[in-house]
């Protein structure tokens, strides 16, 4: 028999999985490891050291005191985030870090913890005119349902992904795939989704969406009717008729009120679809990835024959999409049929201006989660008092230092833009659930009044050691399609 002694595994209690971890190995979540028989957090606690103009909005009431240096955010003091802090599981423990600072003579405290969120998901805003799928269509990754298409907003499509029904309410594979997709999206990685009866879309926070293999570039300036109104004065004396093709509201210059006000004469044009009001048409074509988010590649397919009582040979017609990416110029022949011609120089500037007024097409990913009673217990012995304190604006809620929108109504339901958070701010546990940072900041006196864990409060200087990842927030550069960058100088151990 061998005399070799096998080192004992240790049990991790940081989540309900309760892994047994061998020496030098991480647990299933890759967040905790066995280091010399001790359970250690692999990622160091993250502290935001500066947040420059238009950078991440850290707690707005932090101040250096003394003379004001023009920093509206008062963000030059270190802000302890929950990234790398650890969790309160099994939920009777105080939050891992309850940190106090003196701010302009006022004792402030920030309670940080990495919440285990089963009730969580992301809302995705995709800036594109392209049809990606019908409302309520199922969104899939690896064949598993992870969410659905919501409404179309002005120039954007909205997705709701994740949620407890997908994480825990379906099969084990559905839960694993959903959790993995959410984790990658929240950490600003690319995820390809397939929408039932719709498109294949690559989503990545801060980057342009890729729809059916084609990268989107522009978000529309407005609907077809709005485009007519914005550019009518530039077209009125240069072309007889303009049609702005749009899946939602196609605009026609001569019929539109803007054209009437500019004395544009009737052209006898007749449009397929349902007329809403003069110069505004619904349902001129089906939704798709063609002109203006329709399913057409030839804009003439939305036209009926011109009225011979009003139209005339040589009459000019400009047809353009809501982003200006598709444009075509025609003149009517003797049979009043449009004949395609080269774009005249007199119209080139106006169609270019449509594209100029379109913003870059981007994907935005907002984490959304509900802070449950167990998470709140890490802040106070009486969890409802934290909810009331947040509602009364005595407690400021942030996620990884980023401003969090707190939804009205009961509980603490938060939403935060992942682009405002440091890199790799999210983790997971294989229950499955996301692990997300959340911070509660308030006056020390208010913390004591709500029954906070006063015995666990420590000064900020005591956590500013070598095992801290110091993050220096950097503004987005002049290219609005670029992701925010982050620098750090950690002294990382196991």
Give the pLDDT confidence of 439-491 residue by residue, as tens digits: 999 999 999 999 999 999 999 888 877 777 776 653 333 333 333 333 333 33
For the chain, helix, strand, coil in percent to 5 are: 15, 35, 50
**Cα 173 to Cα 119, 186, 373, 427, 490, distances in angstroms:** 18, 20, 28, 18, 36
pLDDT, residue 31, reads 80
DSSP sequence for 40-60: EESSPEEEEEE--TTS----T
pLDDT, residue 301, reads 97
pLDDT, residue 243, reads 98
What 8-state DSSP symbol labels residue 481? T
Q: For residues 452 and 463, what is the distance between their CA atoms, to the nearest angstrom?
A: 19
Q: Which residues contact 191 (CB under 8 A, 6 or more apart)?
A: 141, 181, 184, 185, 202, 203, 204
**Coil, strand or helix: which one is 260?**
helix
Q: For residues 211 and 245, what is the distance between their CA atoms, to the nearest angstrom?
A: 20
pLDDT, residue 473, reads 52
What per-residue string of b and e applies to 436-459 under the rule 16 or more CB within 10 Å gives b?
Answer: bbbbbbbbbebbeebebbeeebee
Query: What is the gyration radius of the CA atoms in the chain, in angstroms?
Result: 28
List, for the chain, all residue ranges whose pLDDT scores fall below the cut of 70: 1-7, 50-77, 471-494
Q: For residues 22 and 36, what is the distance between their CA atoms, to the nearest angstrom?
A: 10
Q: Where would I find the H helices in 68-193? A: 164-167, 172-186
**281 DSSP β-pair partners:** 250, 275
Question: What is the maximum span of the chain, computed from C-alpha positions, in angstroms?
Answer: 106
DSSP sequence for 458-469: EEGGGG-STTEE
pLDDT, residue 263, reads 96
What 8-state DSSP symbol labels residue 374? H
Which is it for the CA torsion 306, 311, 314, 320, positive or negative? negative
Q: For residues 315 and 142, what is the distance between their CA atoms, to the nearest angstrom?
A: 53
pLDDT, residue 14, reads 80
Give the residue extent of every domain in the chain: 10-41, 45-119+372-488, 120-219, 224-357
**Cα 172 to Cα 41, 431, 460, distances in angstroms:** 27, 10, 42
| Spatial contact of 116 and 89, defined as CB atoms under 8 Å apart | yes
Cβ-count burial of 277 within 10 angstroms (0-12 exposed, 13-18 middle, 19+ buried)? exposed
pLDDT, residue 472, reads 64
Torsion angle defined by CA atoms of residues 130, 131, 133 and 134, in that order, rounded to the nearest 10 degrees: 140
What 8-state DSSP symbol labels residue 290? S
| Spatial contact of 60 and 70, defined as CB atoms under 8 Å apart | no
Q: For residues 416 and 421, what is the distance between their CA atoms, to the nearest angstrom?
A: 8
pLDDT, residue 58, reads 38
pTM of the model: 0.84
pLDDT, residue 373, reads 72
| Spatial contact of 218 and 258, defined as CB atoms under 8 Å apart | no
């Amino acid at each position: 028999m061998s005399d070799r002694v096998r080192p004992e595994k240790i049990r991790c209690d940081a989540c309900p999985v309760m892994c047994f971890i061998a020496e030098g190995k991480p647990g299933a979540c890759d967040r905790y490891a066995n280091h010399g028989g001790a359970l250690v957090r692999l990622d160091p606690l993250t502290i935001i050291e500066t947040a420059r103009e238009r950078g991440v909005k850290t707690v707005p009431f932090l101040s250096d005191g003394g003379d004001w240096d023009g920093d509206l955010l008062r963000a030059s003091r270190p802000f302890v985030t929950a990234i790398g802090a650890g969790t309160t599981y099994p939920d009777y423990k105080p939050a891992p870090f309850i940190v106090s600072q003196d701010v302009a003579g006022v004792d402030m405290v920030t309670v940080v913890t990495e919440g285990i969120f089963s009730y969580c998901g992301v809302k995705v805003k995709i800036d594109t005119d392209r049809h990606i799928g019908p409302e309520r269509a199922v969104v899939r990754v690896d064949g598993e349902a992870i969410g659905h298409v919501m409404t179309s907003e002005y120039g954007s499509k909205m997705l709701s992904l994740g949620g407890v029904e997908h994480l825990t309410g379906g099969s084990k594979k559905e839960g694993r795939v959903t959790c993995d997709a959410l984790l990658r999206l929240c950490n600003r990685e690319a995820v390809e989704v397939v929408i039932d009866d719709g498109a294949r879309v690559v989503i990545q926070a801060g980057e342009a969406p890729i729809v059916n293999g084609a990268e989107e570039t522009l978000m529309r300036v407005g609907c077809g009717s709005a485009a007519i109104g914005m550019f009518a004065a530039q077209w009125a004396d240069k072309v007889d008729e303009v049609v702005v093709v749009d899946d939602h509201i196609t605009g026609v210059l001569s019929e539109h009120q803007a054209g009437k006000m500019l004395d544009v004469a009737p052209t006898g044009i007749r449009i397929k679809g349902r007329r809403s009001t003069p110069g505004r048409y619904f349902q001129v074509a089906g939704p798709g990835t063609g002109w203006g988010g329709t399913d057409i590649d030839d804009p003439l397919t939305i036209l009926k024959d011109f009225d011979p009582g009003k139209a005339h040979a040589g009459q000019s017609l400009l047809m353009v999409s809501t982003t200006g990416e598709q444009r075509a110029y025609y003149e009517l022949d003797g049979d009043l049929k449009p004949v395609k011609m080269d774009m005249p120089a007199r119209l080139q500037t106006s169609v270019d201006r449509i594209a100029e007024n379109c913003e870059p097409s981007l994907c935005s990913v907002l984490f959304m989660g509900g802070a449950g009673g167990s998470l709140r217990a890490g802040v106070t012995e009486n969890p409802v008092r934290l909810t009331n304190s947040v509602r009364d604006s005595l407690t400021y809620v942030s996620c990884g230092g980023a401003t969090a929108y707190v939804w009205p109504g009961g509980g603490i339901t938060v939403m935060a833009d992942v682009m405002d958070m440091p890199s790799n701010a999210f983790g997971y546990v294989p229950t499955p659930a996301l692990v997300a940072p959340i911070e509660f900041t308030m006056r020390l006196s208010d913390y004591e009044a709500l029954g906070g864990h006063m015995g666990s409060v420590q000064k900020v200087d005591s956590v500013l050691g070598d095992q801290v990842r110091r993050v220096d927030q950097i503004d987005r550069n002049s290219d609005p399609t670029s992701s925010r960058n982050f620098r750090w100088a950690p002294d990382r151990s196991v």
